[in-house]
Amino acid sequence: MSSVAVVTGGTRGIGEAISRALKDAGYTVAATYHGNVEKAEAFKAETGIHVYKWDVSHPEECVEGIARVEADLGPVDVLVNNAGITRDGMFHKMTWEQWREVLSTNLDSMFAMTRPVIEGMRERGHGRVINISSINGQKGQMGQANYSAAKAGVIGFTKALAQENARKGITVNAICPGYINTDMVAAMPEKVLESIISTIPAGRLGHPEEIGGLSVYLASDAAAFMTGAVLTINGAQYIANG
């Protein structure tokens, strides 16, 4: 029986690429989504990947959702916490709603999704948790105080959880993508996109498949000694200390 991987926000963008890469590597993948039912069903029809609808910012939905996945597919061996949203705005104009929506989806979801699977991983003596942070969680970004705070929190969560679970055969790592060529980024005005690319030494946007490939490695037995790592994949746009 193949290992089961859950990818939140797994039917679009970076999450879609991670779901596809894990499936190609032999995992049984469950991709969660929240909004676009039509897109999710089309993704399922094309790939054969199982899709499940719930809101990762609501702990009770996550508990119920994980229970459905495990009843259908088996115990969760790999969790990719990828789901995220933006509600950009300068902080002096930012509303509480903008702040809370982003923190709930991007950071509270770390608890809501990981808590229902971590005990099972500990009991089995094996597990992989892969958290998708961001370049902006490392360096900050004007107009994204909420997003940067949440993604920085993901890094702290990753490091703490890695230390708690290393002796139980569980690895916990974070990936910090830079600007990746997803539909959201491609929809930016051409001049804005050109300006962003001009700051990337590699001279291009990243490909979603590159995040997918790194996720497959982190999920594999080859990465069993890598835990608590914060991995940048941004074309040298930002080089973190250490």
Positive or negative, the Cα torsion across 179, 180, 181, 184?
negative
Is 238 catalytic? The answer is: no
Residue appearing with tokens 């569980």: 170
Q: Residue 38's CB: how many other CB atoms inside 10 A?
A: 8
83, 31 Cβ separation under 8 angstroms: no
Q: What is the C-alpha to C-alpha distance for residues 118 and 66, in angstroms, rounded to an integer? A: 11
> Tokens 């835990």 appear where?
227
From 52, 147, 179, 217, the catalytic residue? 147
Burial profile 170-204: b = 16 or more Cβ within 10 angstroms, e = fewer = bbbbbbbbbbbbbeeeeeeeeeebeeeeeebeeee
Residues noted as catalytic: 147
